[in-house]
Structure 1
Amino acid sequence: MRKPISEIKKINKITIPMDAVKLIIEKLSDDLIWDYDEINGELIILKRPESYVDAFMGLGEEMWKKAGGTKYIDEIRKEWDS
Protein backbone atom coordinates (compact mmCIF):
# COMPACT_ATOMS: atom_id res chain seq x y z
CA MET A 1 0.00 0.00 0.00
CA ARG A 2 1.19 3.45 -0.79
CA LYS A 3 -0.22 5.60 2.00
CA PRO A 4 -1.89 3.93 5.01
CA ILE A 5 -3.13 7.27 6.39
CA SER A 6 -6.00 9.26 4.86
CA GLU A 7 -7.28 12.73 5.61
CA ILE A 8 -10.91 13.76 5.39
CA LYS A 9 -11.12 16.89 3.29
CA LYS A 10 -13.38 19.86 3.98
CA ILE A 11 -15.93 18.43 1.53
CA ASN A 12 -16.32 15.29 3.70
CA LYS A 13 -14.66 12.92 1.28
CA ILE A 14 -11.90 10.46 1.94
CA THR A 15 -9.48 8.83 -0.45
CA ILE A 16 -8.93 5.13 0.07
CA PRO A 17 -5.73 3.81 -1.49
CA MET A 18 -6.39 1.65 -4.55
CA ASP A 19 -4.41 -1.22 -3.01
CA ALA A 20 -6.83 -1.21 -0.06
CA VAL A 21 -9.87 -1.10 -2.35
CA LYS A 22 -8.55 -4.03 -4.38
CA LEU A 23 -7.90 -6.02 -1.20
CA ILE A 24 -11.39 -5.29 0.16
CA ILE A 25 -13.03 -6.37 -3.11
CA GLU A 26 -10.83 -9.48 -3.27
CA LYS A 27 -11.68 -10.55 0.30
CA LEU A 28 -15.27 -9.32 0.65
CA SER A 29 -16.56 -8.63 -2.88
CA ASP A 30 -17.98 -5.24 -3.84
CA ASP A 31 -21.28 -5.54 -1.93
CA LEU A 32 -20.39 -4.17 1.50
CA ILE A 33 -21.83 -2.94 4.77
CA TRP A 34 -19.99 -0.05 6.42
CA ASP A 35 -20.54 0.47 10.15
CA TYR A 36 -18.89 2.50 12.88
CA ASP A 37 -18.38 0.96 16.32
CA GLU A 38 -18.67 3.90 18.72
CA ILE A 39 -17.46 1.85 21.70
CA ASN A 40 -14.18 0.83 20.09
CA GLY A 41 -13.91 3.80 17.71
CA GLU A 42 -13.47 1.53 14.69
CA LEU A 43 -14.87 1.54 11.19
CA ILE A 44 -16.09 -1.95 10.30
CA ILE A 45 -16.43 -3.22 6.75
CA LEU A 46 -18.45 -6.41 6.31
CA LYS A 47 -19.49 -8.46 3.34
CA ARG A 48 -23.23 -8.05 2.87
CA PRO A 49 -24.85 -11.44 3.40
CA GLU A 50 -26.95 -12.93 0.64
CA SER A 51 -29.60 -13.70 3.25
CA TYR A 52 -29.89 -11.81 6.52
CA VAL A 53 -32.09 -14.61 7.87
CA ASP A 54 -29.32 -17.17 7.29
CA ALA A 55 -26.66 -14.80 8.63
CA PHE A 56 -28.54 -14.18 11.90
CA MET A 57 -29.76 -17.74 12.40
CA GLY A 58 -28.68 -19.00 15.81
CA LEU A 59 -27.70 -15.53 17.06
CA GLY A 60 -28.10 -15.47 20.83
CA GLU A 61 -28.38 -19.25 21.07
CA GLU A 62 -25.86 -19.43 23.93
CA MET A 63 -27.70 -16.68 25.81
CA TRP A 64 -30.97 -18.61 25.68
CA LYS A 65 -29.25 -21.82 26.80
CA LYS A 66 -27.84 -20.01 29.85
CA ALA A 67 -31.30 -18.58 30.65
CA GLY A 68 -32.93 -22.01 30.48
CA GLY A 69 -33.97 -22.28 26.84
CA THR A 70 -37.60 -22.98 25.96
CA LYS A 71 -38.42 -23.68 29.61
CA TYR A 72 -37.52 -20.07 30.43
CA ILE A 73 -39.59 -18.76 27.51
CA ASP A 74 -42.60 -20.84 28.64
CA GLU A 75 -42.31 -19.43 32.18
CA ILE A 76 -42.22 -15.85 30.89
CA ARG A 77 -45.26 -16.47 28.69
CA LYS A 78 -47.18 -17.85 31.68
CA GLU A 79 -46.41 -14.60 33.54
CA TRP A 80 -47.93 -12.64 30.64
CA ASP A 81 -51.15 -14.62 30.90
CA SER A 82 -51.45 -13.99 34.65
Structure 2
Amino acid sequence: MGISVWQILIIAVIVVLLFGRGKISELMGDVAKGIKSFKKGLNEDDDAPAETAKTIDHKADDTVTMTKSEDKTKAG
Protein backbone atom coordinates (compact mmCIF):
# COMPACT_ATOMS: atom_id res chain seq x y z
CA MET A 1 0.00 0.00 0.00
CA GLY A 2 1.80 3.12 -1.22
CA ILE A 3 1.11 6.81 -0.97
CA SER A 4 -1.04 8.04 -3.82
CA VAL A 5 -0.83 11.37 -5.64
CA TRP A 6 -3.96 12.60 -3.87
CA GLN A 7 -2.48 11.95 -0.44
CA ILE A 8 0.68 13.88 -1.35
CA LEU A 9 -1.44 16.74 -2.69
CA ILE A 10 -3.51 16.92 0.51
CA ILE A 11 -0.35 16.95 2.65
CA ALA A 12 1.14 19.73 0.49
CA VAL A 13 -2.00 21.85 0.86
CA ILE A 14 -1.99 21.38 4.65
CA VAL A 15 1.68 22.37 4.85
CA VAL A 16 1.06 25.51 2.78
CA LEU A 17 -1.89 26.43 4.99
CA LEU A 18 0.07 25.93 8.20
CA PHE A 19 3.31 27.66 7.28
CA GLY A 20 2.32 30.03 4.50
CA ARG A 21 3.86 30.44 1.08
CA GLY A 22 6.49 32.96 2.20
CA LYS A 23 7.91 30.77 4.94
CA ILE A 24 8.14 27.75 2.64
CA SER A 25 9.92 29.70 -0.12
CA GLU A 26 12.32 31.10 2.48
CA LEU A 27 13.02 27.59 3.73
CA MET A 28 13.63 26.31 0.19
CA GLY A 29 16.03 29.21 -0.40
CA ASP A 30 17.99 28.21 2.69
CA VAL A 31 18.08 24.60 1.50
CA ALA A 32 19.37 25.73 -1.91
CA LYS A 33 22.12 27.80 -0.25
CA GLY A 34 23.13 24.78 1.82
CA ILE A 35 23.35 22.56 -1.25
CA LYS A 36 25.46 25.15 -3.11
CA SER A 37 27.78 25.49 -0.13
CA PHE A 38 28.13 21.72 0.10
CA LYS A 39 28.99 21.39 -3.60
CA LYS A 40 31.50 24.24 -3.31
CA GLY A 41 33.16 22.47 -0.39
CA LEU A 42 33.44 19.25 -2.39
CA ASN A 43 35.02 21.09 -5.32
CA GLU A 44 37.56 22.79 -3.04
CA ASP A 45 38.60 19.41 -1.65
CA ASP A 46 39.19 18.10 -5.17
CA ASP A 47 41.41 21.08 -6.03
CA ALA A 48 43.65 20.62 -2.97
CA PRO A 49 46.79 18.55 -3.61
CA ALA A 50 46.83 15.14 -2.01
CA GLU A 51 49.07 14.97 1.04
CA THR A 52 51.70 12.28 1.14
CA ALA A 53 51.59 9.78 3.95
CA LYS A 54 54.03 10.45 6.77
CA THR A 55 55.97 7.60 8.29
CA ILE A 56 57.94 7.31 11.50
CA ASP A 57 61.22 5.42 11.45
CA HIS A 58 61.65 3.17 14.46
CA LYS A 59 64.48 0.83 15.33
CA ALA A 60 63.05 -2.36 16.80
CA ASP A 61 66.42 -3.65 18.02
CA ASP A 62 66.81 -0.96 20.71
CA THR A 63 66.48 -2.56 24.15
CA VAL A 64 65.87 -1.02 27.54
CA THR A 65 67.36 -2.54 30.66
CA MET A 66 66.07 -2.02 34.18
CA THR A 67 68.47 -1.43 37.04
CA LYS A 68 68.06 -3.13 40.42
CA SER A 69 66.77 0.07 42.07
CA GLU A 70 64.04 0.45 39.43
CA ASP A 71 63.10 -3.20 39.82
CA LYS A 72 62.57 -2.80 43.61
CA THR A 73 60.40 0.30 43.20
CA LYS A 74 58.21 -1.39 40.61
CA ALA A 75 57.69 -4.52 42.70
CA GLY A 76 56.75 -2.58 45.85
Query: Which TM class, normalised by the smaller chain length?
Result: under 0.3
- Pair member with larger Rg: 2
Task: Say which structure is richer in strand.
Answer: 1
Task: Say which structure is richer in helix.
Answer: 2
* TM-score normalised per structure 1: 0.26
